[in-house]
């Protein structure tokens, strides 16, 4: 991949920490989203859900 990137006008260096940062950011966003949905579901009144069915 490094040889392919060297042919561009503005070559960049890819480091291991860039991939680690992207993975950790993805996990953080996933964790926040799942936590938010879980808390929202836990606070909901189950009677309201049953009334709609």
Which tens digit of pLDDT belongs to each residue from 11-35?
Answer: 778 899 999 999 999 999 999 999 9
**Mean pLDDT across the chain:** 88
Please give the model's pTM, rounded to 2 decimal places.
Answer: 0.67
Task: Output the pLDDT for position 4.
Answer: 83
Radius of gyration for the alpha carbons in the chain, expressed in angstroms and rounded: 22
Model pLDDT, residue 43: 93
Domain boundaries, the chain: 15-39
**Alpha-carbon span 2 to 8, nearest angstrom:** 11
In 1-53, which ranges are E strands?
none
Q: What pLDDT was estimated at residue 19?
A: 96
């Amino acid at each position: 991949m490094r040889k392919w990137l060297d042919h561009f006008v503005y070559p960049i260096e890819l480091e291991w920490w860039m991939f680690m940062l992207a993975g950790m950011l993805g996990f953080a966003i996933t964790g926040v989203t799942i936590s938010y949905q879980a808390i929202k579901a836990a606070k909901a009144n189950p009677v309201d859900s049953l009334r709609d069915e």
